[in-house]
Amino acid sequence: MAVRPTMARFPANPTEQEACGVPWGVTLTPFAAKDENGVPPDQWSWDCALCGTTNGLSSEAIVRYSLPQNCPENMSSFVDLELPLEGSEEMQARPVYVAAVDLSSSEEFLELTKSALLAALEALGPGSLFGLATFSHKIGLYDVQGPIPVVKNVFVPPDSNLTMELEDVMPLFSFLAPVDTCKDRIASALETLKPTTSWERTTAAGQAVDGVLLGGRGFGVAIEALLKFLGSEYGNTYALARVFAFLSGPPDFGLGQLDTRRYGEQYASKGEDADRALLPEQTPFYKDLATIAVQAGVCVDIFAVTNEYTDLASLKFLSIESGGSLFLYSNTDDSTLPQDMYRMLSRPYAFNCVLRVRTSSEFKLGHSYGHFFPDPEYENVQHIICCDSFATYAYDFDFVNEVGFSRHSKELPTLQIAFQYTVVVPPDEPSISGSNPTKRSKYSLKRRLRIRTLQFGTAHNINEIYDRVDPEVVLSILVHEVILSSLEHGVREGRILLHEWLVNLTAQYNDAFKIAEYTRGSLNTSHVDVAFTQCPQLQPLPRLVFALLRNPLLRFHEEGVHPDYRIYLQCLFSALEPSSLSRAVYPLLTSYDSPDKQAFPRHSLSRAALITSGSPIFLLDAFTTLIVFYSSTADAALPFPPPHDCLLRTTINKLKQERIITPKLIFIKGGHDDATAFENYLIEEQDVEGSGFTRVMGFVSFLDEINHDVVEYFNKSNGDLRR
Q: Is 94 left (phi over 0), alpha (psi -120 to 50) or beta?
A: beta
Identity of the residue numbered 374: P
Other CB atoms within a 10 A radius of the CB of residue 361 amount to: 11
373-407 residue pLDDT tens: 888 888 889 999 899 999 999 999 999 998 888 87
Least Cα distance to 705 among 718, 687, 722, 719 occurs for 687
The whole-angstrom separation of Cα 406 and Cα 547 is 39
E runs forming strands in 306-443? 326-329, 349-359, 363-369, 373-374, 381-388, 393-399, 414-425
Band (pLDDT 50/70/90 cuts) for residue 621 is very high
- The distance between the two most distant Cα atoms of the chain, rounded to a whole number of Å, is 92
Q: In this structure, what are the phi and psi dihedrals at residue 514, rounded to the nearest 5 degrees? A: 55, 45
CA dist., res. 49 & res. 35, Å (int): 18
* CA dihedral of residues 249, 255, 260, 262 (deg, nearest 10): -160
C-alpha 38/C-alpha 35 separation (Å) is 5
Q: What is the DSSP letter of 525?
A: G
Q: Closest by alpha carbon to 639, among 676, 667, 609, 678?
A: 667
- 72-82: per-residue pLDDT in tens? 444 445 677 77
Number of residues that this document lists for the chain:
723
Residue 137 near residue 215, CB atoms below 8 Å: yes
Rounded CA gap, 100 and 218, in Å? 11
Q: Which range among 410-414, 675-679, 683-687 has the greatest average pLDDT?
A: 675-679
147 prior amide bond cis, ω within 30: no
Q: Using one digit for the tens of pLDDT, what is the confidence trace for 679-699?
A: 999 999 765 444 444 344 689
pLDDT tens digits for 262-288? 776 555 545 566 777 788 898 999 999
Torsions phi, psi for 563 (to 5 deg): -60, -35
Q: Mean pLDDT, the chain, as a whole number? A: 85
Q: Is the pLDDT of residue 56 over 90?
A: no
Burial status of residue 281 (CB atoms within 10 A of its CB: 0-12, 13-18, 19 or more): middle
> Between residues 237 and 591, which one has the greater pLDDT?
591
Residue 710 CA to residue 592 CA, distance in Å, equals 39
Is residue 83 helix, strand or coil?
strand
3-state secondary structure of 471: helix
Helix (H, G, I), strand (E, B) or coil at 151: strand
Distance of CA 64 to the CA centre of its chain: 40
pLDDT score recorded for residue 216: 85
For 70, which DSSP code? Answer: G
In 66-145, alpha helices (H): 107-123
pLDDT at 692: 43
Which residues have a Cβ under 8 Å from the Cβ of 224 and sit 6 or more positions away? Answer: 161, 255, 256, 289, 292
63, HSE (Cβ side, Cα atoms, 13 Å): 3
Look at the alpha carbons of 156, 161, 163, 169 in this order and tell me if their dihedral is positive or negative. Answer: positive
Query: What band does 251 get if pLDDT is binned at 50, 70 and 90?
Result: very high
pTM listed for this prediction: 0.88
Residue 373 identity: F
Residue 249 C-beta-side C-alpha neighbours within 13 Å: 16
With beta carbons less than 8 A apart as the criterion, state whether 267 and 277 touch.
yes
Q: Report which secondary-structure segment, H or E, holds 572.
A: helix 563-573
CA dist., res. 99 & res. 337, Å (int): 14
* pLDDT band at residue 409 using 50, 70 and 90 as cut-offs: confident
Query: CB burial class (10 A; 0-12, 13-18, 19+) of residue 663?
Result: buried
At 48 the pLDDT is 54
> Mind listing the domains of the chain with CATH numbers?
2-86+349-430+440-460 (2.60.40.1670), 94-205+213-346 (3.40.50.410), 469-587+697-722 (1.20.120.730), 588-682 (3.40.20.10)
Q: Is the pLDDT of residue 597 over 60?
A: yes
Dihedral angle computed from the Cα positions of residues 357, 360, 365 and 369, in that order, rounded to the nearest 10 degrees:
-30
CB 599 within 8 A of CB 613: yes
